[in-house]
């Protein structure tokens, strides 16, 4: 197992009656794992199929101050 990093995944949902842009921060070992987690989360919360999700960018968030999600930030800084 590698080191867990924080990834910011930016993309679009393009359902016929629901179009939106999303930005989500995920803790994962590899960028592929972060993308898979996005598919899982959006599929369960918004009932979006994988072919309706378009991933535009996956980037590593190196600085903990740049993390927007308070839960991910607390987990990264070891506050929980």
CB 53 within 8 A of CB 40: no
Q: Name the residue ranges covered by the structural domains of the chain.
A: 5-77
CA distances from 80 to 9, 51, 73, 74, 76 (A): 23, 35, 10, 6, 9
In sequence order, what DSSP letters do the residues of 31-51 get, joined into one string?
Answer: HHHHHHHHHHHHHHHH---GG
Quick one: fold of 5-77? Ubiquitin-like (UB roll) (3.10.20)
Residuewise pLDDT in 10s, the chain (80 residues): 689 999 999 999 999 998 999 999 999 999 999 999 999 999 999 899 999 999 999 999 999 999 999 999 999 998 87
Spatial contact of 9 and 23, defined as CB atoms under 8 Å apart: yes
């Amino acid at each position: 197992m590698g080191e867990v990093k924080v990834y910011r995944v930016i993309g679009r949902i393009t359902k016929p009656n629901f179009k939106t842009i999303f930005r989500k921060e995920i803790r994962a070992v590899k960028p592929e794992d972060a993308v898979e987690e996005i598919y899982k989360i959006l599929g369960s919360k918004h009932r979006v199929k994988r072919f309706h999700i378009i991933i535009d960018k996956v980037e590593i968030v190196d600085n903990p101050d740049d993390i927007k999600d308070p839960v991910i930030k607390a987990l990264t800084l070891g506050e929980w």
